């Protein structure tokens, strides 16, 4: 998943942008608590795996101060003992000898040397301020998706962005889920109102562009996603997978339907056509909350099954049958993910998934697509009696990028244009880059351009635990400590969970340097001109003060309270844990700081190491709608334009002989996981999978090196002949390319592989979201 947004906390909870001069709080002068709990020999601890979206509960045994065992926590109320190879390898992540323990500063000759933390911050102060003094528009920041998994990553990056005073914000979101944000923003008025399949109660799951047997769910937090689907199958349900490749998920499906890459929106609109044509639309109680239905009926009339079949490769009779199955199954749901969104019509595909759930009566009902209600979701005052007096419509393009004029979406630009912003001269040219927990040189399109652009920066700073393909270009690297040195609460992912629950876990170990929060807070103070020696607790306290004010403003039982009174009632001492406590106690299940006896408190969280089950998902569309009309808006002007473009694409010429798609593996998530020995065992994974018919036609042998060429670049990789792909499609995994000089990731270097993004074109974007096109790329393959 991509960059977190403050609104993942459900508008929700706070505007974490606070002034550096905000009032003080009791936290000023406090230092981060060092937890000694559990350091005794043979002790056992319970926490949440921080490595992917599944949030599996894990049990960690310690002996002599080191990790002796990591297994699934069978008592965890959500994960129920499930663990994947990533979580089981957490000890190797924590103990990785290549993980940086001290800051690095790059010398004039290009070599890195270790320095003290104070020297590192002083170096940042001198270099950063001189580089942005004339024009703060010359600064840019890139946020990687590990930020989603930490409390500090949820709250502190916004402070740094504000202090920098720049609009050049980039993240992994625009190579991932940005189309879903845009679709939800246009439909519901809230880009973060992402519904999830109610897996535990559905009887029919239609999956497009997702491989949950490998990912364990994406934009759908569900530990043991496969196990939950197997339970559905055991009770007589159906799993239908639409994918150009026979993935592990497809192997377990009731039916696997092959589709040409990039044509998911066409298929979904074809299904909608059948629904309208045959009178299968069932809005039910949502009928009064839907706008644009008749205009939509006219538009989908052009997506006749036989026309869609020619474009997608899915037979017309299959399109018809899918529509009938969705209409006739009382508890059914459509779920689409990254394969449907990293394509030229990504936003339209994301919109069409929600559209089908709506028109077949499967939105906001048990067994369909529903919304989570996490423990930190705010308790709000009673609604206005006028259901159509809600909010303002979702806005995009409040500002545009300098070089290509790409519109801003949820406060950021497409990462695909980062290289252009660095290389193109003129006012506002990016000359300073800060990366936080990201490796865009491997994850962003047109890697060759970024490889060329990064050395030209006046100053580059990376907050990252590794010297990797991106950070080797930095002038300063500040490494945060291991994830096991921080407390854990899932602000971001709990809002995407398939069951409501709350869980907080303390750190297992003391850090070997400043905490992640302290690093980011000190950088914000430096960028704001406060100096390298300024107390980071000023920033942390200001965030707390803002959170307390937000709680008082929003909670109907706290309107008469004073922030100081609420602060004195907090029992957590660590600054970040106090954030958790404020939002839990002012949340929908909370005790309202004593005003709701029996409500959820931080003490109860602390005493519940396996989590607290808060029950199944419940209907809550009324709480999610933020449109000015108070309705689900089906036919906003951007969607109208995209539908016209999609209609024109129905008559597009035949696809190229070969198109490239990515693929996911259970043992990987981010590129840094390629440095974990246990996760790199077995056969080489970075191969170009190709169908036997294409291999014969191109005279390619299994295991033979091949050249792969696109309009953007080329690479060499080993071919793997397999019939899991449909003819005309080849597949290569993302995140490899660990052959660049100057890195310090020995395991990854031994499994270097090829960089997928040498083949991606940074000018090929989904126009509404700015998301990069990473699937359906035209390529040529030949023997090396």
Q: Positive or negative CA dihedral for 70, 75, 78, 80? A: positive
Contact 76, 57 (CB under 8 A): yes
Tell me, what's the pLDDT at 5? Answer: 30
Tell me, what's the pLDDT at 142? Answer: 98
Does residue 422 sit in helix, strand or coil?
helix
Contact 394, 7 (CB under 8 A): no
Q: How many residues make up the chain in this entry?
A: 784
**Sequence-distant contacts of 185-188: CB under 8 A, at least 24 apart:** 185/394, 185/396, 185/410, 186/351, 186/394, 186/633, 186/636, 186/638, 186/639, 187/351, 187/354, 187/632, 187/633, 187/634, 187/636, 188/624, 188/625, 188/626, 188/627, 188/632, 188/633
Taking Cα atoms as reference points, which of 129, 144, 141 lies closest to residue 175? 144
CA 606 → CA 49, 63, 375, 490, 506, distances in Å?
Answer: 17, 23, 14, 14, 8
Neighbours of 252 (CB within 10 A): 16
Angle at 593 between CA 591 and CA 599, to 5 degrees: 10
Tell me, what's the pLDDT at 600? Answer: 98
Which residues touch 91 (CB under 8 Å, ≥6 apart)? 66, 67, 70
Which residues touch 646 (CB under 8 Å, ≥6 apart)? 265, 266, 269, 345, 348
Does residue 509 sit in helix, strand or coil?
coil
Angle at 493 between CA 188 and CA 543, to 5 degrees: 90
d(CA 495, CA 483): 21
Does residue 582 sit in helix, strand or coil?
helix
Tell me, what's the pLDDT at 653? Answer: 77
Contact 416, 174 (CB under 8 A): yes
CA 430 → CA 105, 131, 369, 421, 459, distances in Å?
Answer: 21, 10, 42, 6, 10
Ranges of residues in the chain with a pLDDT under 70 are: 1-42, 380-392
Neighbours of 761 (CB within 10 A): 18
Taking Cα atoms as reference points, which of 479, 485, 518 lies closest to residue 35? 485
d(CA 517, CA 588): 27
d(CA 288, CA 547): 36
Does residue 715 sit in helix, strand or coil?
strand
Angle at 32 between CA 520 and CA 584, to 5 degrees: 85
CA 37 to chain centre: 32
**First-to-last CA distance in the chain?**
35
Does residue 455 sit in helix, strand or coil?
helix
d(CA 727, CA 643): 28
Q: What share of the chain is helix, strand, coil (3-state, %, to 5)?
A: 35, 15, 50
Q: What is the pLDDT of residues 640-672, one digit of tens each?
A: 999 999 999 998 877 789 999 999 999 888 898
Contact 333, 368 (CB under 8 A): yes
CA 463 to chain centre: 19
Q: How many CA atoms lie within 13 A of 117 on its CB side?
A: 18
The model's pTM is 0.94
d(CA 437, CA 698): 40
Q: Positive or negative CA dihedral for 535, 536, 542, 544? A: negative
Tell me, what's the pLDDT at 381? Answer: 54
Taking Cα atoms as reference points, which of 27, 12, 69 lies closest to residue 44? 69
Contact 319, 397 (CB under 8 A): no
Does residue 103 sit in helix, strand or coil?
coil
d(CA 9, CA 583): 9
Contact 520, 59 (CB under 8 A): no
Tell me, what's the pLDDT at 678? Answer: 95
Q: How many helices (H) and strands (E) does the chain have?
A: 26, 27
């Amino acid at each position: 998943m991509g960059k977190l947004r403050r609104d993942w906390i459900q508008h929700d909870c706070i505007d974490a942008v606070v002034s550096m001069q905000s009032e003080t709080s009791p936290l000023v002068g406090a230092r981060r608590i060092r937890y000694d709990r559990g350091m005794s020999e043979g002790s056992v601890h319970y926490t949440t795996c921080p490595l992917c979206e599944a949030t599996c509960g894990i049990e960690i045994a310690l002996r002599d101060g080191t990790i002796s065992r990591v297994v699934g926590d069978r008592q965890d109320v959500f994960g129920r003992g499930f663990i994947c190879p990533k979580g089981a390898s957490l000890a190797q992540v924590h103990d990785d000898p290549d993980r940086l323990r001290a800051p690095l500063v790059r010398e004039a000759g290009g070599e890195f040397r270790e320095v003290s933390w104070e020297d590192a911050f002083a170096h940042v102060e001198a270099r950063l301020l001189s580089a942005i003094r004339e024009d703060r528009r010359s600064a840019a920041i890139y946020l990687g998706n590990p930020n989603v998994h930490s409390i500090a990553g949820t709250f502190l990056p916004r402070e740094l962005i504000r202090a920098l005073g720049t609009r050049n914000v980039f993240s992994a979101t625009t190579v991932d889920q940005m189309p879903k944000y845009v679709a939800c923003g246009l439909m519901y008025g809230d880009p973060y109102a992402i519904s999830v399949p109610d897996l535990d109660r559905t009887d029919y799951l239609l999956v497009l562009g997702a491989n949950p047997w490998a990912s364990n769910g994406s934009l759908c937090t569900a530990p043991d996603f496969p196990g939950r689907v197997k339970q559905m199958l055991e009770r007589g349900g159906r799993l239908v997978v639409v994918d150009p490749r026979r993935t592990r998920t497809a192997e377990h499906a009731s039916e696997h339907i092959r589709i040409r890459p990039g044509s998911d929106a066409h298929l979904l609109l074809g299904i909608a056509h059948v629904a309208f044509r045959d009178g299968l639309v069932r809005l039910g109680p949502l009928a009064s909350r839907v706008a644009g239905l008749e205009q939509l009926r006219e538009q989908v009339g052009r997506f006749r099954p036989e026309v869609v079949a020619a474009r997608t490769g899915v037979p017309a009779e299959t399109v018809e049958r899918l529509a009938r199955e969705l209409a006739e199954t009382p508890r059914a749901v459509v779920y689409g993910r990254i394969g449907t969104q990293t394509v030229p019509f990504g936003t339209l595909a994301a919109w069409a998934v929600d559209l089908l759930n709506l028109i077949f009566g499967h939105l906001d009902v048990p067994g369909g697509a529903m919304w989570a209600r996490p423990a930190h979701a705010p308790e709000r005052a009673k609604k206005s009696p006028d259901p159509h007096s809600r909010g303002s419509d979702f806005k995009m393009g409040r500002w545009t990028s300098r070089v290509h004029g790409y519109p801003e979406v949820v406060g950021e630009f497409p990462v695909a244009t980062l290289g252009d912003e660095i290389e193109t001269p003129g006012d506002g040219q990016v000359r300073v880059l800060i990366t936080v927990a990201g490796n865009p040189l491997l994850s962003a399109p047109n890697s060759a351009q970024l490889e060329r652009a990064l050395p030209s920066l006046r100053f580059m700073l990376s907050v990252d635990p590794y010297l990797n393909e991106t950070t080797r270009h930095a002038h300063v690297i500040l490494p945060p400590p291991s994830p096991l040195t921080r407390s854990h609460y899932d602000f971001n992912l709990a809002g995407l969970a398939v069951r409501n629950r709350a869980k907080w876990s303390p750190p297992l170990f003391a850090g070997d340097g400043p905490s992640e929060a302290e690093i980011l807070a000190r950088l914000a103070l430096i960028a704001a001109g406060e100096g390298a020696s300024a107390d980071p607790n000023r920033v942390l306290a200001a965030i707390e003060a803002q959170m307390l004010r937000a709680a008082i403003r929003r909670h109907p039982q706290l309107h008469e309270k004073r922030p100081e009174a609420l602060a004195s009632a907090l029992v957590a001492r660590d600054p970040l844990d106090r954030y958790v406590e404020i939002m839990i106690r002012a949340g929908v299940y909370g005790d309202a700081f004593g005003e709701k006896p029996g409500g959820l408190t931080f003490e109860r969280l602390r005493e519940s190491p396996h989590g607290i089950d808060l029950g199944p998902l419940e209907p809550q569309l009324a709480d999610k709608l933020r449109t000015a009309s108070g309705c689900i808006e089906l036919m906003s002007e951007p969607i109208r334009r995209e539908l016209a473009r999609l209609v024109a694409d129905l008559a597009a010429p035949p696809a190229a002989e070969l198109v490239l798609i990515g693929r996911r593996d259970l043992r990987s998530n981010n590129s840094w996981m390629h440095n974990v020995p246990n996760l790199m065992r077995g056969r080489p994974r970075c191969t170009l999978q190709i169908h036997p018919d294409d291999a014969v036609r191109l005279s390619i042998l299994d295991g033979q090196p091949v050249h792969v060429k696109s309009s953007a670049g080329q690479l060499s990789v080993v071919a793997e002949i397999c019939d899991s792909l449909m003819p005309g499609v080849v597949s290569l995994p993302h995140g490899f390319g660990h052959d660049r000089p100057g890195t310090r990731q020995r395991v990854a270097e031994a499994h270097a592989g090829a960089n997928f993004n040498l083949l991606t074109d940074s000018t090929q974007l989904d126009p509404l979201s700015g998301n990069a096109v990473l699937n359906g790329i035209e390529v040529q393959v030949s023997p090396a």
